[in-house]
Chains A and B, each alone.
Chain A
Amino acid sequence: MALWTRRGLAGATAALGLSALPHRPARAQGKSITVTALGGIWEEAVRTCFAQPYEKATGNRAQVLIGSPTQWLAQIEANPARPPIDALVTIPDLAIAAVQKGLVERFTVEKTPNLVHTPEEFIAPLDGHGVLFDYGVAGFTFHKGRVKQPPKSFAEFVERTAKGEWQASLPGIGYAVTPIMLIWAMAKALGGGVDNVDPFFEAVRKMGRNVSFWNSPNDFENALASGDADIGIYFDGRTWAWSDSGASFAGFLNPSEGGSINAIAIQKPKNASEEAWPYLDIMLSAEAQLAFAKKLNYGVTNRLVVYPPGLAERITPWQQAAFPPYAEIAAKRAAWVDRWNREIRR
């Protein structure tokens, strides 16, 4: 019996192992394209709002690759002649790096007709080699029960945090977009800018131990739920999604100086399938973007999009937010990280 069961176990193991063998190397070509998506609800929205309309319109197949922008950029760099990805979503820093390395193609109205409905502000940062199609705004997320009167500006936030009115939690230097959503945004609001971030470091010194830092969005949500923090700098869309999931105590407010826009870019790698252009055009269309915004509570960039009541109050208009100089911030990033490690050391 033991022998039989051992053989049975070995057979099952071998069957499972052998089923792994017939895979072909992943290559996006022909009538099948590979598109990327961040995980969870993001991936589900990509499938519903972009991949399905694309498949219906073209008869092609859109395979969705879940992962993260760093991984995808490395994969494209490793295979520039045969990129395994046809349509890329990424963060501005990495999008700029892809442009500088000559890895991506220029968008044109001929290839993506919906480009005409995208404001120049979302095309210029990548010099046309990609488009910012979706954005979140980093403002004040607070516990409505513990912070009855949230601050209206960054300056007020710093003053009241320094006085100890609440425990604040800010993004730490281990989080990828902290240089944008915190260092630059706060420095600018307090009179500095990309060439002068002294006001930010001065503000952190002033707030002292009344501020802590998170390095993963989940840490911030846990801190707010557990009472370790009362208020912090976080994204509007994430706050609303969290609130909808049951954390109804979470509120969001865009600072009067304007929270920073943290956008997601779309790009097409050079040598990727031409069949990706219709997919990217759908990503830029008003209909698909509205469906995407409804699922994620994030703003989109097509100027024809009209948000329905309920959603409109949640989306921060990009005109009321601060538009970061992504390329200049990317150039300063290393110096800011170094200064953070020397001065803040947390």
Chain B
Amino acid sequence: MRRADPALWLLRAVVALFILFMLAPILVVVALSFTSAGYVVFPLPGLSLRWFARMLDYAPFLQGLRVSLQVALGATLLSVLLGVPASLALARSHHPAALAAMTFLLSPLSMPMIVFGFAALFFLSRIGLGLSLPALLVAHGCVCLPYVVRVTAAAYRGLPPALEEAAEVLGASRAAVLRHVVLPLLRPAIAAGSLFSFLVSFDNLPLSFFFGSPGTNTLPVVMLSYVEQQFDPAIAAISTAQLAVAVLLLVLADRFYGLGRLVGQEGGG
């Protein structure tokens, strides 16, 4: 019988504590959403679904959720349509202009989002987009773009050029190579970038904050305004619902694609 390695047990304990440390705040929020109390108190005096009823009763929550889903989908689509071609064009080039363009595309990651949102509000207002859903989509698209570009470009760099050369030698046109060789091989990377984009947009507050209008208020903006005035467990209920959307997405991604492929643990294609 093998003796237990103390170092291994210590490592396991540290990992378990780390996971608990990361999950505990989320678990507390989920638990609070089921409280029967009228204010935030822990431990729970009783269980109730009243705060989920309140969530459904307060129309701005549901409107905000709908807008958030629309914006996240639209921004993800926009960033894929722009990011994938840009990645294919720039990833393997060593030309200084290509490196500069790639840095430019990734630059929103290095900028505080509140600054980006403030600047985008003035810029998009100046060119006539003002406070509108297209303006919100453009702003979110800019922030989502680096996630698609980064993941797709890295995957494309790792793809042996010989695969494309072989297809061309066998008579495939550039379009056919792209459609039948490159894009299928990049599909896991594009899917992973899209998932990151969606989640980044769905949770975004600093950008959406500046573009709120009666028709374009996203859920995080509504939640912030609500919690500033009324700190009841309804905010925990809507947070739980928001979490459920994210988990559902991951489950769907796993069901239709496999999370292992998304994170690169299994072969793509």
**Distance A17 CA – B62 CA, assembled complex (angstroms):** 16
Chain B interface residue bracket vs A: 35 or more
- A-B CB contacts (within 8 Å), total count: 140
Residue in B77, B131, B134 whose beta carbon sits within 8 Å of that of A75 in the complex: B131
B40 near A218: Cβ-Cβ < 8 Å: yes
Listed A/B pairs (7) with beta-carbon separation below 8 Å:
A19-B70, A23-B134, A25-B131, A39-B60, A40-B230, A42-B229, A246-B39
| Chain B proximity mask over A126-167: 1 for CB below 8 Å, otherwise 0 | 000000000000000000000000000000000000000000
| Chain A proximity mask over B28-56: 1 for CB below 8 Å, otherwise 0 | 00000000011111100000000000000
| Contact flag A67-B209 (CB < 8 Å), given A25-B129, A39-B222, A246-B38 | yes
Stretch at the interface among B14-22, B93-101, B211-219: B211-219
A84 near B73: Cβ-Cβ < 8 Å: no
Give how many A residues have a beta carbon under 8 Å from the other chain's beta carbons.
48
Residue in A16, A67, A246 whose beta carbon sits within 8 Å of that of B212 in the complex: A67
B221 near A13: Cβ-Cβ < 8 Å: no
B37 proximity list for chain A (CB < 8 A): 246
B37 to chain A, nearest CB (A): 6
* Residue from B58, B125, B132, B137 with most neighbouring chain A CB atoms (10 Å): B125
**Distance A63 CA – B129 CA, assembled complex (angstroms):** 20
- A335 CB–B CB distance under 8 Å: no
**Distance A217 CA – B231 CA, assembled complex (angstroms):** 8
Residue in B69, B130, B226, B256 whose beta carbon sits within 8 Å of that of A26 in the complex: B130
Residue in A17, A34, A79, A222 whose beta carbon sits within 8 Å of that of B40 in the complex: A222
- B252 CB–A CB distance under 8 Å: yes
Closest to A79 in B: B125
- A66 CB–B CB distance under 8 Å: yes
A66 near B40: Cβ-Cβ < 8 Å: no
**Distance A71 CA – B71 CA, assembled complex (angstroms):** 19
**Distance A6 CA – B187 CA, assembled complex (angstroms):** 14
**Distance A44 CA – B221 CA, assembled complex (angstroms):** 16
- B224 CB–A CB distance under 8 Å: yes
B76 to chain A, nearest CB (A): 9
A66 near B222: Cβ-Cβ < 8 Å: yes
| Chain B proximity mask over A238-264: 1 for CB below 8 Å, otherwise 0 | 000110011100000000000000000
Chain A residues within CB distance 8 Å of chain B: 2, 5-6, 9, 13, 16-17, 19-21, 23-27, 34, 38-43, 63-68, 71, 74-75, 77-79, 82, 84, 216-218, 221-222, 225-226, 241-242, 245-247
B216 near A225: Cβ-Cβ < 8 Å: no
A77 proximity list for chain B (CB < 8 A): 122
B229 proximity list for chain A (CB < 8 A): 38-42
- B210 CB–A CB distance under 8 Å: yes
- B227 CB–A CB distance under 8 Å: yes
A1 to chain B, nearest CB (A): 12
A25 proximity list for chain B (CB < 8 A): 128-132, 134-135
A21 proximity list for chain B (CB < 8 A): 133
A20 near B214: Cβ-Cβ < 8 Å: no
**Distance A21 CA – B136 CA, assembled complex (angstroms):** 11
A67 near B225: Cβ-Cβ < 8 Å: yes
**Distance A245 CA – B39 CA, assembled complex (angstroms):** 6
Taking A20-B71, A26-B215 as known contacts, 7 extra A-B pairs with beta carbons closer than 8 A to each other, sorted by chain A number, are A20-B70, A20-B137, A64-B214, A67-B225, A68-B224, A84-B130, A247-B39
